[in-house]
Amino acid sequence: MEFIQLDIAAIKQSDSQNNAYVLILNELTGKRQLPIVIGWCEARSIAIALEGSSKPNRPLTHDLFKNIGDKFNLTVQKVVIHTLIEGIFHASFYCKNTSTGNEEAIDARTSDAIAIALRYKCPIFTYEDILARAGIIINSSKQQDASFEIKDKKIEKSKKIASLSIKKLKNLLNIAIEDEDYEKASKIRDEIKKREKNK
């Protein structure tokens, strides 16, 4: 079967599922899009790779995979979204050992495979039957600007801490601690303490 290359158009918050995002992939030579529901952690990892800035202080899982690959002469040649079963996309990424020339296809969640593909700057492909079943046609007159910013992502810097709910602040605090961003964590903790004191 012939490959159809895809690129990333946008990541948007899901309207129907809490803590879920929709990764939208564009058909490179056509007008179809492939929407894939992914979790927040994977959406964040993909967004960071796309933006190429504001990296966390410590490596994310997909960065760690890339670091290990670099040390052991592994490259990722391509990612293929090859199967759709009961609404779930299945993908593989194709690794090559540059020292031995050995190549292997490794099964992965689609979101993880794409996050890894971005770090290796390798192409993403699917097949016609996948696009025919799950693709949607782009209406070019209504196509939105494909910014890579997650609408409500918890790492968004533009939001003022004071405008966030206690629940969101606690989520942000956990993320800041996980990223070892202790300066940010202390500011969030101070805001939480201030609000709890004023109750």
- At 53-103, the pLDDT tens digits run 566 778 889 999 999 999 999 999 999 999 999 889 999 999 999 999 999
pLDDT at 182 over 70: no
Contact 148, 50 (CB under 8 A): yes
The continuous run of DSSP H or E covering 30 comes out as none
Q: What value does the mean pLDDT take over residues 22-40?
A: 93
Contact 126, 82 (CB under 8 A): yes
Q: What is the pTM of this model?
A: 0.69
pLDDT, one tens digit per residue, over 111-169 is 999 999 999 999 999 999 999 999 998 765 444 444 444 433 443 443 467 777 888 88
Angle among Cα 59, 43, 131 to the nearest 5 degrees reads 130
pLDDT of residue 181: 67
